[in-house]
Structures are given as C-alpha cells and as structure tokens.
C-alpha cells in the first residue's frame, strides 16, 4: 500500500487514508491495514490515536511515540480536535445541529451525540453535505444522517440499496461517499494549533464533479 503523507515530524504523522482500508487490524484481520503500512514507511512503531471507518477516506493522524499518543488521544477524547467531513447524501438535510443519542458501540448503551450539518449544494434529490461531529461516537455521522432521512450514498449498513446501486451504475462509485476533509489540533509538544486538509480523490471526486457540486465543497481541501 502506498502511503500519502500530509505531514511528518518527530512526534506524529498525518496521512491520507484511502477508502476500503482499515486503520488497524483489530477484529478485521485484513491482509493490509493503514497502521502497518505507515509503520513500514517510517521505519518505526506508530500509535493510532483515532480511527475512520473502513469506507471513509481522508485525514488520519498517528503518533510516533507513547507521549505524543497520550497527548493526542486525550485531545480527541476531550473534544479539542476540530473535524470536518464531506458526504454525498440521498436527500437534502437542513442546516442544523443533529442532537440525537446513539449507541456508544454496536450493542452498547445510548449516549449523547451531536453533529453539525450544512447542505453545501444539491443535484436533484442528492446533496453534498458538510458534517462537523461535536462528539466522537461510533458511526456518528452515518447514524445521524440516517436519523434525518438523508443517508450517506454507498452506506450498506445505514443507507438505501437502490440509491447505492444507482451511484455504482451511473457514476462507478463503489465506496462510502464520506470523506474526512479537515482536521485541526494542538501540536503535542509545541502547543501550536495546526490544521490539515485533503481533497476527495478518485471515484468520489469524479462523482462530485459529475454532479456539478465540486465548487460547493467550500473548504481549503477543495483546492
């Protein structure tokens, strides 16, 4: 697996995760995972401090030592990391904070969860949506967009099969249309606020362009 680095220093690396790859092996037991690919690329052990779903692409940070891992992990846990996602949805969600409790884990108790959503542009019955999770729960964005009847395209768990099939056949999109576009946090050593962004690529970018929505992706990641 070729790793695309967005940043690298002695404390951590930031990489662009491709869709279809797990962050770390865990229960998946995949032949490849992002953590091992980054480890091999930098030549040292790495510590994932957060995760993206297999189907989600975009910005991921990994620490290069236990001290940085602890500091960054705490920042994520305490909500001091700013995150911005882009999603293609069936339907046009309202600009609002979706405040809806969801399970902490697959079978766990429901816990508070809030996602700020904004509709950036529409193409027929579909939309390009900005999603900013204000809490960090499992499948939060996907669950919340389903809750407001605007599921993410390509989501086989929470989405709609007929729309997923349409995007596979019409646009060649064989993936979850969810992308972690931006991430900002304090440097674990210097405390400097840093921001990283990456644009959607491949089939997702092609699909957004074909829908005429690329100019609507109004963050620095679009450039």
What residues act catalytically? 53
H/E stretch holding 109:
none
The helix (run of H) or strand (run of E) holding residue 118 is: strand 114-123
Question: How is residue 152 annotated by DSSP?
Answer: B
Q: Is 207 helix (H, G, I), strand (E, B) or coil?
A: helix
Question: What span, in angstroms and rounded, lies between the C-alpha atoms of 181 and 118?
Answer: 14
What gap in Å lies between CA 32 and CA 21, rounded to an integer?
Answer: 7
Sign of CA dihedral 200, 24, 84, 114: positive
φ and ψ at residue 42, rounded to 5 degrees: -95, -15
Measured CA to CA, the distance from residue 139 to residue 158 in angstroms comes to 10
DSSP string for 6-57: EEE-SSEEEEEEPTT--SS-TTT--S--HHHHHHHHHTS--EE-S---TT-E
């Amino acid at each position: 697996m070729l790793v695309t680095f967005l940043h690298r220093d002695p404390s951590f690396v930031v990489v662009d995760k491709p869709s279809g790859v797990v962050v770390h092996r865990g229960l998946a037991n995949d032949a490849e995972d992002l953590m091992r690919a980054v480890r091999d690329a930098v030549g040292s052990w790495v510590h994932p401090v957060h995760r993206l779903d297999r189907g989600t692409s975009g910005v991921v940070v990994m620490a290069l030592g236990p001290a940085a891992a602890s500091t960054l992990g705490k920042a994520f846990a305490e909500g001091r990391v700013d995150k911005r996602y882009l999603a293609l949805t069936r339907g046009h969600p309202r600009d609002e904070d979706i405040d809806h409790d969801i399970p902490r884990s697959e079978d766990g108790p429901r816990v508070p969860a809030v996602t700020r959503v904004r509709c950036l542009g529409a193409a027929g019955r579909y939309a390009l949506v900005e999603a900013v999770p204000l809490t960090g729960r499992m499948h939060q964005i996907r669950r919340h967009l389903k809750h407001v009847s605007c599921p993410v395209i390509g989501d086989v768990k929470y989405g709609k099969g007929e729309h997923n099939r349409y995007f596979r056949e019409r646009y060649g999109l064989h993936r979850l249309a969810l992308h972690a576009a931006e991430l900002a946090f304090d440097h674990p050593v210097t405390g400097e606020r840093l921001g990283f962004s990456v644009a959607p690529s491949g089939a997702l970018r092609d699909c957004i362009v074909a829908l005429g929505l690329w100019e609507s992706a109004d963050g620095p990641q679009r450039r």
